[in-house]
Each structure stands twice: as structure tokens, then as C-alpha cells.
Structure 1
Amino acid sequence: MAAEPLIEARPAVRRRVAALPLPVPVLLSALFIVLLAAAVAAPGWFADADPGVGRITESLRPPGAGHLLGTDMLGRDVYARMVHGARYSLLIGLGAMAISVAGGLVLGLLAALSGRWVDEAVTRVLDTLAAFPSVLLALLVVAVTEPGTVNVAVAVGVATIPRFGRVVRGEALVIRTADYVRHAVVYGRRRWRIVSRHIVPNVLRIIPVLATLDIGLSIMSSSGLSFLGLGPSSPTPEWGVMLAESRDTLQVAWWTGVFPGLALTLSVIAFTTVGRYTQRRIQGGRR
């Protein structure tokens, strides 16, 4: 008799879940991104402890009431460093994304809308760069410049330009042969007007999808470079730096590396989930 209400409640729960404006994974990912943005804008709302100050007497304290996620080797609060580190990791990812989107958009449109020789030259350059792993290209850029927060964002952004450029070029070539563009040519519209009113606006529709997908990859790549010592330096509370600092204490204090790694993983999953959902909606709208 006691099981009947539970059985009857399950369809009601399913109907409520189906009535949500977004799928549950996408909704949770969007909420997580909102929390990240809030942590970037006002980290003091979430953690009042100073991320750069610690007491050596509280070194490697496990998670508990005094320190929610424990302390690191220098007695600094791991939770406070994670919250303040969201600003560095997310801003580096956004900066890298902006560079890759701008560079890829310019090169992709240049290749698709210029003559045959320009298209072939730009395409070969993009294909050659795309043949190398993006992390390797980022390492090369950092080696040419020097380690640092800004240089890591530039390195990751430059390394992902080929991926954006190839996608933008392909999309522009498809739009260029669309019927409404051909009709505009037949009606004698000027070239710059066709490009500005028909081709570029339609190409820009794919940018939010590419940008959302790229932020997660940029955060992961920049954190990887920071882990190797090529990004922000200690005591900057950046997630990659925190992972690098936890290498010597991970066996005795697992929380110093697990929680920053979890924050990094969840961020990549959240941005990728939202980006793929947006991509499916745009593709479905086209059909």
C-alpha cells in the first residue's frame, strides 16, 4: 500500500521535468555558468577569506567547519582560492576565445570572399596550422614571448584560430552560393552590400556556438599551460597554478588538487553542454 503513492508520483515528476524550458543537463550547466560569472564579478560574496594569506599553523587542514574545502601547504583556504581563481581562469578563457573568434572570422571571410589565389593561400596556412595540436602551438607562442597571464590567453587564442577560420570559411562558401545571394547579384546589388547584408550576418550566427564551445577548451588549455609553469605564477589563485602546487602534497592532502580539478572539469562540461545544445537548436531551426 505504501508503494502506490510513489508509483503515482513518478509520472508527475516526469511531467514536471518535461515541462522545464531546458533539458536538465543544460539547465544545470547554465546555472553553473551563472555562478561562475557571479564569482568573477564579486568573489567576496562567496568567500570572505584572503586567497593569498594563510597561517602555517593551519597547513594542510582537511575540509571542515573552519575551512570548507581545507587548506593548502601554506595554510591558505582552498575554497577562497578556488572562488577567486575563477576570475583568472574564466577571463583567460574569454580572452583566448575573443582572439580566436576575431582571427578566425577575418581569415575565414578573407579566404571565402577573395580570389582563388588568396583563398588557396589562406586555406593552406590554416590547414598547416590545424595539423599541429593546439597545445603545441600555444607552447610555441609562449616560448616566443614569455610566461604570463596575458601571454597565455594570446597563445591559446592564436592556437585555436585555424579551427575557427576553417569553419567560418566553409560556412561563408555555403552562404555565398545560396539562392538569396544569387538573386541579390542578379538584381545588381553591389558586392560590399551583399557581403555586409547577407553573408556576414549569416556567418555571425554560428559564432555564439563556436565561442561557447571554445571557452571550455580555452580554460582547459590555459590551465594546462599554467600547470606547466607557463601561465600565472604563484601565489596567483588560478586553477592551473593550484593544481601545480598540489603535486607535492596530493598523497597526504587530496583536497588541494581534487577540488580545483573538479572546478576545472565542471566548467569545461558546462560550457560544452550549453554550446552543443545551442548548436542543435540552430541546426534544427535551419531545417
Structure 2
Amino acid sequence: MLDELLQGRDLEQALQAVGAAVDATLDRLLPPAPGLEAPVVDAMRYAALGSGKRLRPFLAVTSASLFGVGRIPALRVAAAIEMIHAYSLVHDDLPAMDDSELRRGRPTVHRAFDEATAILAGDGLLTRAFGVLAGPETHSDPAVRCELVQAAAEAAGSQGMVGGQMIDLIAEKQTLDIGAITRLQRMKTGDMIAFSCEAGAIQGKAAAEPRHALKAYAHDLGLAFQIVDDLLDAEGSEAETGKSVGQDAQRGKATFVSILGIERARAQAAMLSDQAVRHLDAFDDKADLLRDVARFVLTRRS
């Protein structure tokens, strides 16, 4: 049961427990390959396993616990979400995009392997994720599996994360206002966070009202998360964040920090965090870990 991972634990303990369970699930779902395709599978495992906050999988598992979803189905969805997230980081780090050398404290995939293998590894992670969501072990009801696949496709595709990445590339060449930056980050970061929060409700066949509350929570959490990401890029170090910093300023790219300034950006993130917490009132103390996440994003250093 999911209670074994979550109940009686503070946020740090729960994050570690869920992270270990998700890693074990990823290890099973991405087994090493013995044939000539082994390098791409090794790169997929390198990208997905052994590092990272696992925040999105944690949101998926914690939200699933609100609706009585079983351990194995919840962890499969969480692992699929981490595969999609890992794919996005692999491609985001490529020379054609951010040209980053460091991710999660290690060389990026195209540095550890090569650029072509990194592209294929990202492709492999994305397609494997949809295979996991569509598998009968994820839910016994085919309609629920179809809804999971559709929601993930919308969050990850051109109306979500991929579209947001396109706008992010455009932001390096033309100045965007605060409205465009907010839309960029909602698509690039927020939509997958929203899917992570809603996936458990989909699995649990929840009513419209709690699903709406989780989506509203995720919307504010996602924006707060991205503002803090911009603050870390402006103020953090590679040692703290585990990735390259200062790239936005080097490229002259508009961000929440460049438009609002550091203090106003920090205040906006705090306001969004408080607002996210209020959306969870209907869940009483069952959503305390989700409330803790909203506060955690303000103080994270990686």
C-alpha cells in the first residue's frame, strides 16, 4: 500500500522513500539490453536512474494516495512521468538547445555518451513512458489507461511542454513580457506538474471537484517552482544546483527574475505557494505532504 511509503514520515523521509520506490520501478521497467541496442538503453538508464529530486513522481504518488490507488499502479504512473521528465532534460541539454554540460551533478547524456545516442535515448524514454501508461498493470480499466495517455500527451506535447520549450528558444531572440513568460513556464514546467497531480485522481476515478482543486494547486505550485528555478539560475552555484547556472543572463533571456527583480520574484513565489496550499483545504490533513511540497519549493537549492 502507498501508506507504507507516506504515513508517519516527514517530507524529506517521504521524498526519499518514494524516490527509492520509483527508482526500483524504473530499474524494472528499463532493464539493460544485451544486444547492439545496449548503448541507447544504457543512456536511457543513465538519464532516468539514480539522481534527481523525483518531485513529479512524488506528486503523482502522494495525489494517488488521496484516492485509494494501489502501490504498483501509482508507482508505474510515477515512473512514466519521470521517464517523460528525463527525456525532456536530455533533449533540453543538447547543443541545439541549452548546450549544457552538467545535469543532476553529472555530465549530461550527450557528454557521457554522444549527441546521437542522447537524441535516441530521449526518444526511447518518451515512447517507453506511454507504453507503461497504456499497460494493463497501470489500471484494469482501459478507459482510465486511455485517459492517462491522453492527459500525458497533452501535458508533454505542443500544447504543453514541447510548446513551452519552443517559446523558451524564441525568448533567446526576442524580448517577452511577463504574460508571455508566465505562459511559457506554465506550458514548459507547469503542465507536467499538473498531470503529475491529476494522474492519481484519474486512476482513482475521482469526481470533478477534487480534480479541479488538484489542478489549481498544481498551477500555482508550478509557477512558484519555476520562479525559484530562475532565482537559482541567478543566485545559485553549480555545486548547489547540480547543473549549469547563469545561462539565462548570458543569453539575455527574459525570466521572472529579469522582469520582476530578485526580491519581487521571491515574494511572488511565496504568494503562489500560499495560494497553492489553500487549494487543498477540501482534503483536510490527508494532503499535508502536498502542503509541505508547496513550502519546500521556496527553500530548495537544487
TM-score after normalising by structure 1: 0.33
Larger Rg over CA atoms: 1
TM-score after normalising by structure 2: 0.31
Say which structure, 1 or 2, has more relative contact order (CA 8 Å, 6+ apart): 1
